[in-house]
Structure 1
Amino acid sequence: MSVEVQVKRQSAPAIRARKGGVPIVALTAYSALTARLVDAVADLILVGDSLAMVEHGLPSTLGATLDMMILHGASVVRGSARAQVVVDLPFGSYEESPAVAFRNAARLMAETGCGAVKLEGGARMAETIGFLTGRGIPVMAHVGLTPQAVMSFGGFKTQGRERAEWEAIERDAQAVAEAGAYAVVLEGVVEPLAARITETLDIPTIGIGASATCDGQILVLEDMLGLSPRVPRFVHRYGALADHAAEAIASYAQAVRDRSFPGPDNVYQPKN
């Protein structure tokens, strides 16, 4: 008689306990299909608001809505079993007040089954992070280059190029940790500053365009698979799936036109 082994998901405390240990592997996923692939190796799956651009063709992450995040988040949870699933709170869903943030975060978690939410912003969001974590919602923070604030930055600009910027970024990272965040994403931060923040904080840092000394790394899945047409400098393409897909699609189109598809193995015949 076979015994079914129950797979236990990674939790916020388990991810936090990885500080200074084996690096945390994190990737994005936006569907059950890609979640199954990522879940086999990742510790953490982020349903990022980058889905607004990758999946919906919008010009920035600002177009992501709460309903959109819930739809994709629930799909990823259904398609995964072992990785912690974190879902982004989209722009406009948490900045108004801690109470509004709690209402939207609670809905997101209830309707998706995810294990945590992520929000952008440093010291200015500390009160909100404390409000959420004090009410049982695990929060991953995000400092440095925060895409939802891209209009304020004047574009996707690396943070910390000038030493005069370091203090504010370090203060942001420390503030979210003290407020109760269990981990923090460091995006687009110069390498020595990311290493310094990682050494200082007692929660894991997850880098994207930061430093290999971070406690973990995250990339957008489509970027590292070679599906995205353009990627930032910090992305390493581990595959060229767009080229393979284009070849396969062209082969299919040719087979349809020359009537070699469907073939004998692809059609049904009567029994008699």
Structure 2
Amino acid sequence: MTIQTSLQLFTIKEQLDADLDGALAQVAARGFRAVEPYDFVHRAEALAAALTACGLTAPSGHAFLASDSFVNPDGSGTTLPVPAPAEVFAAARVLGMGTVIDPYTEPSRWESVAQIEETARLLNAAAEIGESMGIRVGYHNHAHELEATFDGVTGLEVLAGLLDERVVLEVDLYWVARAGVDPVALLERLGRRVIAVHAKDGTFDPALVNAYPPADQVPAGDGEVPLVEAAAAAPALELAIVEFDHYAGDLFDAIERSRVYLDEKVAS
């Protein structure tokens, strides 16, 4: 199976907010052919037009499917309502998107198996709706799903065992490693459930790692996350996605360096 390199657009959030067309043109100029949009429902038409103009596709995207309200990237909740799954999937179809991935749920929802069962129920229900609209559903982790353990099993693996076979996983390799879990061993255990990875790298420098957003992230291949080995451990992998939560240097240079590394070491 061919593995496609993509870019999670949250990486360039500020640039997109300032100039949607110009930012995506820069992404294309850096050699990307695929991206992963976030918060795409309210701007689906404009985003679809901009992607087409730049020769970009959006095979996957992030949208909340198992939460009633928006969850901040640091895990804190809000009262801002999110679109219903059917509305999300309708927007995804406008973008030609085949897979919609829930980006995370609040850490407070990973304190018991019963809570994880409820998250699985919501994702499974979304998958039922998604299938009727030609959209596949997935879940993306941060660290808290791995830091939570139940009888020695990580919360993410508990979730995987409760999911309908139609629900897939997008594993963020940086956050797995941040949680103290071996990404390679985890992907071996999760097997064909994993169709995408966030191939995000970091140094885990103690002086930088505990900030939010993390200040230790570096271009793919420059850090300590075993990106290539982890990708090789996922037999059904379709997408290797570049992402930075934060980067102090030249961001577009960093995403291009990451793409080149993944194209050479993973996609090929």
TM-score (norm 2): 0.50
The structure richer in strand per residue is 2
Bigger relative contact order, structure 1 or 2 (CA pairs below 8 A, ≥6 apart): 2
Structure with greater Cα Rg? 1
TM-score (norm 1): 0.49
